[in-house]
A = this chain, B = another copy of it.
Amino acid sequence: MEVVKKPKEMQTKAEEWRKSGLRIAFVPTMGYFHEGHLSLMREGKKRGDVLVVSIFVNPLQFGPSEDYARYPRDLQRDLQLAQKEGVDVVFAPEVEDMYGLNFQTFVEVTELQKPLCGEKRPGHFKGVATVVAKLFNIVKPHVAIFGLKDYQQYLIIKKMVEDLNMDIEIVGMPTVREKDGLAASSRNAYLNSEERKAALCLFKGLSEAKKAFLAGEKDANRLLKIARSVIESEPLVRLEYLELRDPDDLRPLEGEVERGLIALAAWVGNTRLIDNMLLGEDYRAEDHAEG
């Protein structure tokens, strides 16, 4: 496995691979790997001849009061895990090599970035779309793999790829959960043991809503109420949003729901977590999405 730091070196390598007919699979990450990341890498191994994983904590997607500085980092451990998964190249650039002094070009997906996390984290998805556009141009992938825990991010990247005619297949992979159901996240490392236990109510709330849906409850408000009551019974957790939206375009759903995304963000102490579940379709249906 090779570790590449310089964007130009990564780009030259990618162009050589493409010229020699190799299919490039790409998993962009912020590092501090958990099982979710590893599942993306395994999918990448299946879908490409060479697999590139990027590790870059992107300052552009953090607000001024957010956790950019303290975001967990452990490059040595990440490299060991990537090597075990058979990753060919880890691309781990420095901030100053990604954003020069006079950097001023931004990519925005104007509608999909508005609701949910976009409303609570202004500029976040602009930072995401911009860095992913850059990484795509550097790594030149044929296929890129994203986790559906970040469902809104996944939709935004798919839309960017479609709107800007990027010749890249976008694959979304199901949320990986810890044994008790908590969605795997690098930010789980922030939780103390009491918070860790409390955080489980997020999965439980979503699961209760999904169970009710599968049992025949289709009313949007009642489904949300079921999830909310589970989560609000946990005093250490404060819901930021809990919404039921269309899984394709994120428009809000009301009344009777045949198919929906139930998505939330919540604060557990000083840690902000997100989670979601699809109602009325299986995650696996998303695997074939193409840009």
A→B interface (CB under 8 Å): 7, 11, 15, 18-19, 21, 100, 102-112, 129-130, 133-134, 137-138, 140, 159-160, 162-167, 249
A6, chain B: closest CB distance, angstroms: 11
Contact among B19, B105, B163 for A18, CB-based, below 8 A:
B19
Residue numbers in B under 8 Å from A21 (CB-CB): 19
User: A7-B165, A100-B163, A105-B163 provided; 6 other pairs, C-beta below 8 A?
Assistant: A18-B18, A102-B249, A105-B108, A105-B109, A106-B108, A108-B108
Check B109 against A164 for contact (C-beta < 8 Å).
no
Bound complex: CA A56 to CA B163 (Å): 16
Bound complex: CA A261 to CA B11 (Å): 34
Check A137 against B108 for contact (C-beta < 8 Å).
no
Residue numbers in B under 8 Å from A140 (CB-CB): 167
The residue on B at minimum CB distance from A15 is B167
Residue numbers in B under 8 Å from A166 (CB-CB): 137
Check B102 against A165 for contact (C-beta < 8 Å).
no
Bound complex: CA A7 to CA B166 (Å): 11
Check A163 against B11 for contact (C-beta < 8 Å).
no
Check B167 against A137 for contact (C-beta < 8 Å).
yes
Q: Given that A19-B21, A106-B107 are known contacts, is A138 also in contact with B165, CB under 8 Å in the complex?
A: yes
Residue numbers in B under 8 Å from A109 (CB-CB): 104-105
Bound complex: CA A249 to CA B112 (Å): 32
Check B105 against A110 for contact (C-beta < 8 Å).
yes
Bound complex: CA A163 to CA B133 (Å): 10
Bound complex: CA A18 to CA B142 (Å): 14
A289, chain B: closest CB distance, angstroms: 15
A164, chain B: closest CB distance, angstroms: 5
Check A105 against B160 for contact (C-beta < 8 Å).
yes
